[in-house]
């Protein structure tokens, strides 16, 4: 990639700068993003950051364009340029002076945060000789920022004021001096102030590391060539997308789908030779907590465009220049203040999956059948029985991905926008929190059969140690399971079971601050992905392997595949 980019004769002033120096600078941008990621991971206090990696880093150019995407959740990384652009505009409009050593903080979907109040972004301008040459940025999920329930994500919220402390793009560090009163306000609004403070300084440390490294690069090579390297990198990202668009099927594609809530979401995608148009204006008014900001909606469209154009890890703002995106104010994908955003992650996944499904039958070689398509974020908390301290964990869950023409779907993988994240190890969960992890296995529920079967979700059991514990969760794809493709069977739903000590079992997909007693078990079940192709076409040795590996019972094999284990043959019973 870099050599192709460095020698591209269509780049501006191709002979003005040494192409190898350009290449070195471009690779340095990526290396600096990665170092920021490591710095944040190693200094954070919360396991959702240092173990799950619910975070992201990026470098943004002085105009607010994503210059280099770092590691972490793609949805986070691709949103940091929007946060920086908001900050630049706010400072210009309000006459706020941006100075060396400043660090800004935002978490507000209406003020540059793009997601929800738990996701806190730090933005730092990088100065060299009095001029801003770039911004460093990072974002991570914090366990609790106040609001009506522990964990700050309430499926029952009706307005953003119920969801916690809003930080509308303000200086948390001014000229190198921390804003201690603001930090105290943030801490006193959280049920977990020690964790908040630890994660806060991890975020600030990461952008500072990135700023020092960028300053070193600019001083070594000079500001003019540094700017040229960023511009060429953005231009290269644009060319990657436009070249890929030429090979995609052209036309106007639409899809509408009922959601678990009863709402119907719709989209239109139009693919032209040099433009990718996404229109989500025809959607319902903003309801309850299901909203996502326009920027977050745009992220879903950007991720899909990247997936179908060039999914390689090279990513910057130039990749998305061919995208045109349309929303309507006052709808679920572009709400008006003060609509709630706490469970935005499920709605943005619903939009991402909707766009995916809209194109899947037209691009079967690129897009598999439906996956579990829910973060299945599970908030568990209470008072730790050993330390007496409040604890709250927020854990996304693994699930099954859909089958595709080249093979079976992946098992136990995070949802579509989650990227480089991991489940929290049982040892960390048990040491830090008031619970035991009794079980983590693949989901044995039927569903997702096909010529290529869907991957398996998981079944996990958390046993509560606290006397007065609680659960908050909001799972989608609980009524309508992951969709099959080309004749494949649908997958299985996402849900939670509360298994009480008295033997009663309750099944849920959405609860808020739900009471748990000591010894109760929270069983998490995530969906199997959809199947691809007619199940009758699955090779019999693959069916036998599924039975042998516990993915499939003999009864289900007979019912769906027409498989007779006794004769090791496929019958014509279907």
Q: How is 256-269 classified by DSSP, letter by letter?
A: EEE-TTS-EEEEEE
pLDDT in tens, 61-99: 999 999 999 888 988 999 999 999 999 999 999 999 999
| DSSP per-residue letters across 278-304 | EE--S-PBP-TT----HHHHHHHHHHH
pTM value?
0.93
For residue 286, the model assigns a pLDDT of: 83
Q: Which of 14-18, 209-213, 342-346, 477-481 has the lowest mean pLDDT?
A: 14-18
pLDDT in tens, 210-238: 999 999 999 999 999 999 999 999 999 99
For residue 4, the model assigns a pLDDT of: 39
Residue 569 has pLDDT above 90, yes or no: no
- What length is written for the chain? 574
Confidence of residue 567 (pLDDT cuts 50, 70, 90): low
For residue 251, the model assigns a pLDDT of: 97
Residue 12 has pLDDT above 70, yes or no: no
Residue 321 has pLDDT above 60, yes or no: yes
**Residue carrying the six token digits 């269509």:** 10
The average pLDDT across 129-147 equals: 97
Average pLDDT of the chain?
Answer: 93
Residue 13 has pLDDT above 80, yes or no: no
Residue 574 has pLDDT above 60, yes or no: no
Task: Give me the residue spans of the domains in the chain.
Answer: 2-237, 368-538
Q: CA-based Rg of the chain, rounded to a whole angstrom?
A: 24
Nearest to 262 by CA among 192, 332, 314: 332
For residue 361, the model assigns a pLDDT of: 94
Percentage above 90 pLDDT, the chain: 85
3-state secondary structure of 196: helix
Nearest to 299 by CA among 64, 48, 73: 73
Q: In the structure encoding, which two tokens stand for residue 556, read together?
A: 């289900």
Residue 570 has pLDDT above 70, yes or no: no
Neighbours of 414 (CB within 10 A): 22
Confidence of residue 568 (pLDDT cuts 50, 70, 90): low
Confidence of residue 572 (pLDDT cuts 50, 70, 90): very low
The average pLDDT across 527-556 equals: 96
Confidence of residue 9 (pLDDT cuts 50, 70, 90): very low
Residue 10 has pLDDT above 60, yes or no: no
Percentage above 70 pLDDT, the chain: 96
Residue 389 has pLDDT above 90, yes or no: no
Residue 421 has pLDDT above 90, yes or no: no
Q: In the structure encoding, which two tokens stand for residue 69, read together?
A: 């995407």
pLDDT in tens, 14-65: 447 889 999 999 999 999 999 999 999 999 999 999 999 999 999 999 999 9
Q: Which of 110-119, 171-180, 310-319, 359-368 has the lowest mean pLDDT?
A: 310-319
pLDDT in tens, 261-301: 999 999 999 999 999 999 999 999 987 778 999 999 999 99
Residues 6+ apart with CB under 8 A from 47: 393, 424, 428, 429, 432
């Amino acid at each position: 990639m870099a050599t192709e980019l460095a020698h591209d004769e269509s780049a501006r002033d191709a002979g003005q700068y040494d192409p190898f120096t350009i290449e070195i600078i471009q690779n340095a941008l990526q290396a600096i993003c990665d170092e920021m990621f490591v710095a944040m991971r190693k200094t954070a206090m919360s396991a959702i950051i240092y173990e799950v990696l619910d975070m992201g880093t990026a470098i943004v150019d002085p105009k607010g364009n994503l210059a280099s995407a770092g590691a972490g959740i793609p949805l986070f990384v691709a949103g940091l340029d929007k946060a920086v652009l908001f900050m630049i505009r706010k400072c210009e409009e309000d006459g706020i002076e941006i100075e060396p050593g400043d660090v800004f903080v935002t978490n507000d979907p209406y003020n540059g945060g793009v997601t929800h109040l738990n996701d806190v972004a730090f933005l730092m301008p990088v100065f060299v000789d009095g001029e801003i040459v770039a911004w460093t940025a990072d974002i991570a999920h914090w366990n609790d920022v106040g609001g009506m329930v522990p964990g700050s994500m309430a499926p029952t919220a009706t307005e953003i004021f119920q969801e916690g402390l809003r930080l509308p793009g303000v200086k948390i560090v001014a000229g190198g001096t921390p804003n201690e009163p603001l930090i105290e306000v943030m801490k006193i609004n959280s049920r977990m102030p020690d964790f908040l403070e630890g994660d806060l300084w991890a975020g600030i440390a990461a952008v500072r590391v990135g700023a020092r490294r960028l300053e070193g690069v600019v001083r070594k090579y000079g500001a003019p060539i540094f700017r040229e390297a960023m511009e060429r990198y953005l231009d290269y990202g644009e060319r990657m997308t436009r070249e890929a668009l030429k090979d995609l099927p052209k036309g106007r594609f639409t899809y509408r789908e009922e959601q678990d809530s009863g709402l119907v979401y719709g989209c239109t995608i139009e693919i032209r030779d040099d433009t990718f148009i996404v229109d989500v204006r025809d959607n319902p008014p903003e309801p309850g907590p299901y909203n996502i900001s326009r920027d977050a909606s745009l992220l879903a469209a950007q991720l899909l465009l990247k997936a179908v154009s060039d999914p390689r890890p090279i990513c910057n703002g130039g990749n998305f220049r061919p995208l045109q995106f349309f929303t309507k104010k006052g709808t679920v994908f572009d709400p008006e203040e003060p609509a709630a955003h706490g469970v935005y992650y499920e709605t943005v996944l619903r939009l991402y999956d909707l766009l995916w499904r809209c194109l899947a039958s037209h691009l079967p070689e690129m897009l598999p059948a439906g996956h579990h398509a829910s973060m299945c974020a599970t908030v568990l908390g209470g008072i730790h029985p050993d330390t007496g301290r409040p604890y709250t964990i927020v854990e996304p869950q693994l699930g099954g991905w859909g089958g595709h023409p080249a093979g079976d779907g992946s098992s136990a993988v995070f949802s579509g926008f989650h990227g480089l994240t991991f489940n929290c190890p049982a040892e960390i969960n048990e040491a830090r929190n008031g619970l035991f992890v009794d079980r983590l296995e693949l989901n044995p529920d039927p569903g997702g059969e096909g010529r290529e079967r869907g991957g398996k979700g998981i079944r996990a059991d958390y046993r509560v140690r606290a006397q007065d514990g609680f659960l908050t969760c909001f799972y989608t794809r609980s009524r309508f399971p992951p969709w099959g493709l080309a004749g494949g069977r649908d997958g299985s739903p996402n849900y939670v079971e509360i298994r009480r000590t008295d033997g009663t079992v309750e099944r849920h997909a959405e609860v808020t601050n739900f009471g748990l007693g000591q010894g109760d078990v929270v069983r998490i079940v995530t969906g199997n992905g959809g199947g691809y192709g007619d199940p009758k076409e699955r090779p019999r040795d693959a069916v036998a392997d599924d039975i042998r590996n516990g993915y499939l019972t003999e009864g289900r094999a007979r019912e769906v595949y027409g498989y007779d284990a006794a004769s090791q043959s496929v019958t014509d019973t279907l």
